[in-house]
């Protein structure tokens, strides 16, 4: 299995795990200085750490956390229901498709 395929599998498993867990047990992220911290922030941090450590697993998990909320952010979602709206789910599927198509180009150098 190519590194790109492994990367995509890690991203896909991350998105499915987060989506399932938050659907079963919705929970809000912590609030820091009046701003709610969503899991895309942890994703951006994990992407940076994955790049620093040259870890495909950490990088892929971070990427998955980030793209899981990308459509929600672009749609300016506010609630848990917004995150599971039809448009948000279609957006997430679209970003997963893009990740699959460009999986070899998204790998760290």
Alpha-carbon gap, residue 18 to 13, rounded angstroms: 8
Comparing 61 with 74, which gets the higher pLDDT?
Answer: 61
Model confidence pLDDT, tens digit, residues 3-34: 999 999 999 999 999 989 888 887 777 777 77
Q: Which two tokens stand for residue 57?
A: 């697993």
Burial code (b: 16+ CB inside 10 Å, e: under 16) for 68-100 equals: bbbbbeeeebeeeeebbeeebeebbeebbeebb
Model pLDDT, residue 94: 96
């Amino acid at each position: 299995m190519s590194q790109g395929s492994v990367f995509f599998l890690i991203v896909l498993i991350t998105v499915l795990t987060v989506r399932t867990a938050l659907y079963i047990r919705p929970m809000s992220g912590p609030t820091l200085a009046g701003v709610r911290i969503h899991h895309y922030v942890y994703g951006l941090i994990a992407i940076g750490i994955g790049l620093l450590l040259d870890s495909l697993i950490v990088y892929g998990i971070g990427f998955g956390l980030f793209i899981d909320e990308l459509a929600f952010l672009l749609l300016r979602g506010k609630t848990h229901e917004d995150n599971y709206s039809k448009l948000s789910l279609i957006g997430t599927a679209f970003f997963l498709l893009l990740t699959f198509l460009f999986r070899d180009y998204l790998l760290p150098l």
